Structure 1
Amino acid sequence: MTQQSGYNTPGFWTFIIVLLGNLVFFMYLSFLHPGVKEHSLHLPANTQAK
């Protein structure tokens, strides 16, 4: 006889992989990504909206 487990094994591993992927992504954004440049600070002073 085989013993029945009480949880969804493929769903559990999918959850673990997605959780670890999110953690790696946010660690990359927090500590390794160089950031973005602020382009709006380099506008000429005499430019007017038309």
Structure 2
Amino acid sequence: MSKKEKNISGLEKKIKTELDNFTRELETVKNLIELDKLRTKYIGKKVF
């Protein structure tokens, strides 16, 4: 592989890692919002 190809490959790996992390964080936020909806429904206090 040429130096340029290695750089592109490295960038692709970094982007994939960042995207995976972002997706995981987004799932966490969605779960927190869902949890808050349930809490509001059953307890009546909004957290977010």
Which structure dedicates a bigger proportion of its chain to helix?
A: 2
Normalised by the length of structure 2, the TM-score is 0.53
Percent of aligned pairs sharing the same letter: 12
Runs of 5+ consecutive residues of structure 1 not aligned to the other structure: 37-50
Normalised by the length of structure 1, the TM-score is 0.52
Runs of 5+ consecutive residues of structure 2 not aligned to the other structure: 2-8
Runs of 4+ aligned structure 1 residues displaced above 2 Å come to none
Bigger-Rg structure (1/2): 1
Give the CA RMSD over aligned residues. Answer: 2.6
